[in-house]
Structure 1
Amino acid sequence: MNSMGRRRSRATAVSAAGVLLLVGACGSNDEGSAEETAAAIDCAQFEQYGDLEGKTVSVYTSIVDPEAEEQRASYKPFEDCTGAEIEYEGSREFEAQLPVRLTAGNPPDIAYIPQPGFLKSLVEDFPDAVTPAGEAVVANANEFYTPEWVEYGTVDGTLYATPLGANVKSFVWYSPSAFEGAGYEVPTTWDELMDLSQQIVDDGAIPWCAGIESGEATGWPATDWVEDVVLRTAGADVYDQWVNHEIPFNDPQIVTALGAVGDILKNPEYVNGGLGGVTSIATSAWNESANGIPDGTCWLHRAANFYQANWDEGLEVAEDGDVYAFYLPGKSASDKPLLGGGEFVTAFSDRPEVQAFHAYLSSPEWANAKASVTGQGWFSANSGLDSSLLQSPIDQLSYELLTDPSYTFRFDGSDQMPGAVGAGTFWTEMTAWVASDKSDQDVLTAIEASWPSS
């Protein structure tokens, strides 16, 4: 058995300064780049992967430039210390083309899968193509990720994929300076959030702004709303049953949750600050829908940590800055459900160099290398990540919540559902819910009717 078949010992994570120096050296085009890398860090931590000189590993993903440049930069320590070459291919047609490539017998060595549901379908449809994780990958997964994250990469008891990047969706964006000026406090329970919304109305303003327009994907931000609220009104166990269709999509507990979403999004006194009435939610671009917060035309906007990329560059995103986000509260201060998402690494070959690269991508060394070359909007669920490397206060907060055991994490539900539902009727019916005031019961019943029979 080669070195990749043995459980790897935990290597010491590279310090913030060390990672920055490492990637800087690795990014050099000088002929001495490999030697500079060896001088910057101890390549002994890469010896577990073996001598891979002359070996090539192909990576296929939906991540395209400019983000792809950061991905490629994060591979340099592995390449320069092992001698392997990583061939990266990003495609906007990734989800459609990956099954085509598998059918044609032309799989990549590594792929980044954006949804657990997609991973499950690949394993079911191409059981001989997807490779179970090797022992070193399994060891990293169990050491550096929570059981929930490991389970999302597992199909029928076998680990196939490990987490790559992550995001947290349970946030409400606001203006700290505006809150201070108005005397508002960040709510810590759902009731306090609703009381704050009403207080803003009583003070003569419209509290919430929202938008779900996203081209062919219009409706997806509304599904995040429902998922977050199901976690808060029904709990994580019911959420799991709903996502796995162990209870119907229109179960009474889900009807209750959608009604709670409607208490905000269908209340004409509460929405849609700076954009219009309730129906304007369906036509307001999701990535521009919070513009009213710094303008003072709305106060609250529920969106993930990655919404920060849409703020004007002149705004400071910080706890005491122009805009920031607070945790979307649960029923009580001790009730802490957390909704999020991310990508997963899976392999289609058991060649030593492929398994070695998969192990690297599941390690703290890769997470720290990636963080050191990335601006705002990226972090990992890897517990070995040095959070001081994260470039944005909201990313640091996201990582803090994601790795805090007092929070109960659940992966985005629509990403786990069959595509016809999660990226189909769930989107379109939620759009009809706000655009034409379709009733809660009719929306959920239509989605239930669309669930595939097998």
Structure 2
Amino acid sequence: MGAATAGGLAMALVLSACSGDDLGGGGDGGGGDTDADCADYEQYGTFEGETVEISSTISDQEADQLEESWADFVGCTGITIEHNGTNEFESQIFVQVEGGNAPNLAIFPQPGLLQRMQEGDYLVPAGEAAMDAASANYTEDWLTYGNIDGEQFGIPVMGSVKSYVWYSPSAFEENGYEVPTTWSEMMDLTDQIVADQGEGSAKPWCFGIESGGATGWPATDFLEDMVLREAGPDVYDQWVNHEIPFDDPQIVASLERVGEILQNPDYVNGGIGDPRSIATTAWSDAGLQIPEGNCFMFRAASFFEAQLPDDVEVGPDGDVFAFYLPADTADEQPLLVAGDYLAAFDDNEATQAVQAYLASPEWANSRVSIGGVVSPNQGVDPQNASSDVLRLTLELMQDEDAVARFDGSDLMPSSVGAGTFWTEMTSWIDGQVEAEDALTAVEESWPQD
């Protein structure tokens, strides 16, 4: 499941150049004079009277923050940026482009959706200035998901890391537990917690996969993380691209390894019930058992932080924090990631200027400093992150030993990645089918070429 926040809101940010005139606009996040040194933006040109429209899934507070992040840029270039965020982005973007009313730019929450748009011959390759910025500031792992048939169409502008285990630093300290650095250390810790807790209600793990119409996605994430760790990134790529069967023995082994945690009644489901309760427990509610003291570990992405109550302190010395989901050896660092990709529908000069700025480390640092998100742009200073978890996320993204792979379900045909994969993982966790049978059912559902 992608990282972008869904919601419905349409906003316009109307800004003039650095003249100091009143900069009113339709959005609340970017109006007002800019105090920026406009010499920093001369490279992008000036565009009095030009408008660039951006469509996305981004809404509410995050949309306001997005507007704020480019306020100085638009104030100095004179571009009017009109941002339209909607939870119906996927359907609306096709209606727009097929009706000849495409926006200038769009932020796609899934590479697969971007590819479908390019297959319709609606997109143009990234402009030269944007490519210069992207080549200098993004790793090949991240760029590859916006590259189609050798041309770069999408540039990753925001991202998240899913390979986390959330825990309570105070509970670990109280019990003398160390953060594990390998998978075997984590499983040894799991067994130690079982032994220490005895018949108590606290369990080593809590987990939930209920998410309305998207129920099942947290289990697909866990499997994808496990495939990366056990079978490796090359096999992961083959699996996601259906170059090997969905029920390849290596994938079955990875799911069974996930089951060693999620289907063990001694290990789960802290504060909630037995393993079958996972299927009916909202994914974020499961994690809330950590600060309640009902479980010790919860696997979830960096964006779980936004689900925590305001009175829960998040940090290495706080009520809740996260550690990297370890691999078999400490020198391996596969990352399961998700992110948003910016792509253009035209090559107008103003469009290319906005695209180039959003590909730059200057914009990425601006957006990260405002809070709530991170960017895989390697030029971001981790100290600009708005929380300890987001700082850790940036450090993992920028680690030269990290191998990043995008959320597999977002890359698969939607009937699989957002269909049978979710439902079969739900049946599996509910005990209705064995691991191999669940994966075989997904394999049989894969669309024929």
| TM-score normalised by the chain length of structure 1 | 0.90
Q: CA contact under 8 A between 2:382 and 2:394: conserved in structure 1?
A: yes
Residue identity opposite 1:410 in structure 2: R
8 Å CA contact 1:173, 1:301 repeated in 2: yes
How far apart are 1:30 and its partner, in Å?
Answer: 4.8
Give the structure 1 partner of residue 67 of structure 2: 72
The answer to whether 1:421 aligns with 2:416 is: yes
**Cα separation, 1, equivalents of 2:170 and 2:135:** 42
Equivalent residue letter for 1:56: T
What does residue 271 of structure 1 align with?
268
Deviation, 1:386, is 2.2
* Contact 1:171-1:328 at 8 Å conserved across structures: yes
Q: Matched residues in 1 for 2:37 and 2:71: separation?
A: 14
RMSD: 1.9
> Are residues 186 and 35 of structure 1, via their aligned partners in 2, closer, same or farther at CA, if it must alter by over 3 Å?
closer
Counterpart amino acid of 1:186?
A: V
Give matches, 1:272-291, under 5 Å.
272-291=269-288
The one-character-per-residue Cα deviations of 1:109-161 (angstroms, maximum 9, x if unpaired) are: 1101011111111111x11x111111111111110000111111100101001
Match of 1:381 in 2: 376
CA contact (8 A) 2:36 2:72 kept: no
Distance 1:34 1:121, change over 3 A: closer
Which residue number in structure 1 is paired with residue 113 of structure 2?
118
Match for residue 328 of structure 1 among 321, 325, 329: 325
Within 1, Cα distance between the matches of 2:289 and 2:79?
49
SS of residue matched to 1:343:
strand
What amino acid sits opposite 1:335 in the alignment? Answer: E
Residues 34, 81 of structure 1: 8 Å contact kept = no
Is 1:370 aligned to 2:363, yes or no?
no
Offset, 1:437: 3.3
Consecutive unaligned residues in structure 1, runs of 5 or more: 1-24
List per-residue Cα deviations over 1:150-190 (Å, max 9, x = no partner).
11110010100101111001000000010011011111111
Q: What is the CA-CA distance between 1:347 and the residue it aligns to? A: 0.5
Q: Partners of 1:29 and 1:228 in 2: how far apart?
A: 51
Q: Is residue 166–residue 320 contact of structure 2 (8 Å, CA) maintained in 1?
A: yes
Distance 1:35 1:209, change over 3 A: closer
1:397-447 per-residue CA deviation (whole Å, 9 max, x = no partner) reads 000001101111111111111111111111111111112431101100011
Distance 1:404 1:29, change over 3 A: farther
Q: CA deviation at 1:314?
A: 1.0
> In the alignment, does 2:192 pair up with 1:199?
yes
Question: Where do 1:47-446 residues align within 5 Å?
Answer: 47-124=42-119, 126-127=120-121, 129-203=122-196, 204=198, 205-374=202-371, 376=372, 378-446=373-441
**Are the aligned partners of 2:370 and 2:386 in contact in 1 as well (CA < 8 Å)?**
no
Please give the secondary structure, in 2, of the residue aligned with 1:381. Answer: coil
CA distance in 2, matches of 1:327, 1:335: 11
Shift of 1:290: 1.2
* 101-110 or 261-270, which deviates more: 101-110
- Counterpart check, 1:448 vs 2:443: yes
Q: Which amino acid aligns with 1:411?
A: F
CA distances 1:37-61 after superposition (whole Å, capped 9, x unpaired) = 3xx3321221121111100000111
C-alpha deviations, 1:360-413, integer Å up to 9, x for none? 110011112212322x3x100111112222110000000000110111111111
- Tell me the distance in 1 between the aligned counterparts of 2:359 and 2:377: 8
State the Cα deviation string for residues 215-255 of structure 1 (Å, max 9, x = none).
11111111100000001110111001111111010000000
Report if aligned partners of 1:209, 1:273 keep a CA contact under 8 Å in 2.
Answer: yes
Q: Distance in 2 between matches of 1:199 and 1:30?
A: 63
State how far apart, in whole Å, the 2-side matches of 1:104 and 1:435 are: 44
Query: Is residue 48–residue 78 contact of structure 2 (8 Å, CA) maintained in 1?
Result: yes
Equivalences, count = 424
- Is residue 364–residue 384 contact of structure 1 (8 Å, CA) maintained in 2? yes
Tell me, which stretches of 5 or more residues in structure 2 are unaligned?
Answer: 1-16, 25-29
In the TM superposition, what whole-angstrom CA distance separates every residue of 1:342-362 from its partner, at most 9, and x where no partner exists?
A: 100001011000011011110
Q: Which residue of 1 aligns with 2:11?
A: none
For residues 393 and 29 of structure 1, do their structure 2 counterparts lie closer, same or farther at Cα, with a shift above 3 Å needed?
Answer: farther
Letter in 2 for 1:440: A
Q: Structure 1 residues 77 and 309 mapped into 2: Cα distance closer, same or farther (>3 Å)?
A: same
**Identity across the alignment (%):** 53
**Structure 2: distance between partners of 1:142 and 1:291:** 40
Deviations 1:289-325 (A, max 9, x none): 1121111111100001110111121111111111100
Structure 1 contact 168–338 (Cα < 8 Å) conserved: yes
Instruction: Give yes or no for contact 2:41–2:73 (8 Å, CA) kept in 1.
Output: yes
- What is the alpha-carbon distance in structure 1 between the residues aligned to residue 129 and residue 32 of structure 2? 27
Distance of 1:154 and 1:348 partners within structure 2: 15
Q: Residue 206 of structure 1 contacts residue 299 of structure 1 at CA under 8 Å; is this kept in 2? A: yes
Measured after TM superposition, the shift of residue 34 of structure 1 is 9.6
Preserved contact between residue 44 and residue 77 of structure 2 (Cα < 8 Å)? yes
Residue 329 of structure 1, CA deviation: 0.4
Q: Structure 2 CA distance, aligned partners of 1:192 and 1:220?
A: 26
Please give the secondary structure, in 1, of the residue aligned with 2:246. coil
Give the 3-state SS of the residue equivalent to 1:400 in structure 2.
helix
Is the Cα–Cα contact under 8 Å of residues 105 and 344 in structure 2 kept in the other structure? Answer: yes
Give the equivalent residue in structure 2 for 1:19. none
Secondary structure in 1 matching 2:303? helix
* 2:432 counterpart letter in structure 1: D
Distance 1:51 1:400 in 2: 35
Question: What is the alpha-carbon distance in structure 1 between the residues aligned to residue 91 and residue 414 of structure 2?
Answer: 12
Q: CA deviation at 1:29?
A: 9.3
Counterpart residue type for residue 137 of structure 1: A
Counterpart amino acid of residue 123 in structure 2: V
**Whole-angstrom CA distance in 2 between matches of 1:35 and 1:448:** 55
Shift of 1:68: 0.7
After superposition, the Cα gap between the structure-2 partners of 1:268 and 1:437, relative to the gap in structure 1 and judged at 3 Å, is: farther
